[in-house]
Chains A and B, each alone.
Chain A
Amino acid sequence: MRQRALVAIAAAIVLVLAVAASLAIGARAIDLGTVWQALTDLDPADPEQLIVSTSRVSRTVIGALAGAALGVAGALMQSLTRNPFADPGLLGVNAGASLAVVIALSTGIATGFAAQVPLAFVGAGLAAVLVYAIGARGAAAGTPVRLALAGVALTALISSVTYAILLVNDSTLDQYRQWVAGSLTGRRLEDVTALVPLVLVAIAAALVSSRQLEAVALGEDAARALGVRIGTVRVLVIVLVTLLAAAATAAAGPIVFVGLAVPHLARALVGASLPWLLAVSALGGAALVLACDVLGRVIAPPGEVGVGITTAFLGGIVFALMARRMKVVEL
Chain B
Amino acid sequence: MRTLRLGPLGITTHRRTLAVGLVLLAALAAVAIFALTSGQSNVTVADALRAAVGIPVGAPADFIVGHVRAPRALTAILVGAMLGLSGAVLQSLTRNPLASPDFIGISAGAGTGAVLTIWLIGATSLWVTAAGAITGALLTAGLILALSWRRGVVPLRLILAGIAMGFVAQAATQYALTRMDVHDAGNALGWLVGAVTGRTWTHVTVAAAMLAVLLPLILWHARSLRTMEMGDDAARALGIPVASARGVLAVAAVVLAAGAVAVTGPIGFIALVSPALALRLTRSAGVTLIPSALMGALLLLTADQVAQLMPSTLQFPVGIFTAAVGAPYLLWLVWRASRGGPS
Contact = CB atoms under 8 A, between A and B. Distances in A.
Contacts of A320: 144, 147-148, 160-161, 164-165
A138 B340 CA distance: 8
Which has the most chain A C-beta neighbours within 10 Å: B103, B159, B170, B331?
A: B331
Interface residue range, chain A? 35 or more
- The listed residue with most A CB atoms (<10 A of its CB), out of B186, B334, B337, is B334
Interface in A299-331: 303, 305-306, 308-310, 312-313, 315-317, 319-321, 323-324, 326, 328, 331
A149 B155 CA distance: 14
A309 B176 CA distance: 10
18 contacts: A134-B338, A138-B338, A149-B103, A149-B334, A152-B103, A153-B330, A156-B326, A157-B327, A163-B189, A168-B315, A181-B174, A306-B174, A308-B174, A312-B170, A315-B167, A320-B161, A323-B161, A324-B150
A50 B268 CA distance: 47
A181 B175 contact: yes
Contacts of B330: 149, 152-153, 156
Contact of A146 (B150, B268, B316, B338): B338
Interface string A120-150: 0000000000000011111111111110111
A258 to B, nearest CB: 12
A244 B52 CA distance: 56
Contact of A313 (B168, B189, B313): B168
B157 A134 contact: no
B93 interface: no
Q: Is the interface of A mostly helix, strand, loop or mixed?
A: helix
B327 A309 contact: no
Contacts of A177: 177-178, 182, 185, 189
Interface of B is mostly: helix
A149 B98 contact: yes
Contact of B340 (A85, A140, A152, A308): A140
Contacts of A143: 338
B324 A166 contact: no
* 5 interchain residue pairs of minimum CB distance: A157-B327, A312-B171, A316-B168, A160-B323, A323-B160
A261 B93 CA distance: 31
A150 B334 contact: yes
Contacts of A153: 327, 330-331, 334
Interface residues of B, number: 53
A317 B168 contact: yes
B323 A157 contact: yes
B156 A324 contact: no
A173 interface: yes
A167 B189 contact: yes
Contact of B193 (A146, A163, A174, A180): A163
A141 B338 CA distance: 5
Given A156-B327, A173-B186, A316-B164, A145 B159 contact: yes
Contacts of A317: 164, 168
Contact of B189 (A138, A150, A157, A173): A173
A104 B218 CA distance: 48
Contacts of A309: 171-172, 174-175, 178
Given A150-B331, A173-B186, A178 B178 contact: yes
Contacts of A163: 189, 193, 319-320
Contacts of B161: 320, 323-324
Contacts of A257: 167
A146 B340 CA distance: 12
Interface in A153-172: 153-154, 156-157, 160-161, 163-164, 166-168, 170
